[in-house]
């Protein structure tokens, strides 16, 4: 852990409540997680974490899945995507800069497809059965597969922000009518 990371973690613990940390952790989930996992990440105990998570479910911020062996919680991915698109729109970047970012991400994926002769992150993971690969190359391919999936999600969000650029623009409040 770098000094900056430990300083920011210490700052987070000093200046936030357990409930704040649970909310921050829950809103950043990229996959369903249990209350125990969220409690551990937030540095808070299980029961109060579970109460906060249930309130977030009631408020429509999180979803709960009881179908598995453990109850898991996950964010409303549509809400997350919309908020991220609004952040991109409000970030000070131009639509041209976002378009360039989109092109760079797509180019990176095309490069990986060409380098490994595969069409998807899972096909890349499938190449790990090659016994001639050393541990370092296996790790590299696993990391690229994770990054590829991340880029695929980002492409959708950045593409949405570009397509809906005008719609996502901040609006001035309407003047009250007399």
Q: How far apart are CA 162 and CA 54, in angstroms?
A: 35
Q: Which of 3-17, 56-70, 92-106 has the lowest mean pLDDT?
A: 3-17
Quickly state the pLDDT bin for 178 (edges 50, 70, 90).
low
Q: Which alpha helices (DSSP H) does 2-94 contain, by range?
A: 3-15, 18-27, 35-42, 46-58, 77-90
Task: Please report the pLDDT score of residue 144 as a whole number.
Answer: 97
Lowest model confidence (mean pLDDT) among 14-18, 40-44, 83-87, 89-93: 14-18
Each residue's pLDDT tens digit, 49-61: 999 999 999 988 8
Q: How far is CA 71 from CA 37, 75, 76, 80, 114, in A?
A: 11, 14, 16, 21, 40
- Beta-bridge mates of residue 64: 73
Return the DSSP state at 87.
Answer: H
pTM: 0.66
DSSP string, 126-160: HGGG-TT--HHHHHHHHHHHHHHHHHHHHHHHHHH
Share of residues in the chain with pLDDT > 90 (%): 72
pLDDT of res. 14: 58
């Amino acid at each position: 852990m770098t000094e900056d990371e430990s300083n920011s973690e210490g700052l987070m613990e000093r200046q936030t409540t357990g409930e704040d940390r649970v909310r921050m952790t829950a809103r950043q989930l990229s996959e369903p997680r249990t209350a125990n996992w969220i409690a551990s990440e937030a540095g808070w105990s299980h029961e109060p974490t579970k109460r906060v998570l249930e309130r977030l479910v009631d408020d429509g911020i999180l979803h709960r899945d009881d179908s598995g062996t453990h109850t898991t919680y996950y964010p409303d991915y549509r809400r997350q995507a919309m908020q991220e698109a609004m952040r991109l729109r409000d970030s000070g970047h131009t639509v041209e800069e976002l378009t360039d970012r989109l092109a760079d991400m797509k180019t990176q994926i095309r490069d990986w497809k060409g380098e490994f002769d595969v069409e998807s992150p899972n096909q890349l993971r499938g190449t790990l059965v090659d016994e001639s690969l050393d541990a370092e190359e296996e790790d590299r391919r696993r990391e690229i597969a994770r990054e590829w999936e991340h880029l695929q999600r980002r492409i959708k969000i950045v593409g949405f922000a570009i397509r809906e650029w005008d719609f996502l623009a901040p609006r001035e409040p309407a003047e009250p009518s007399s």
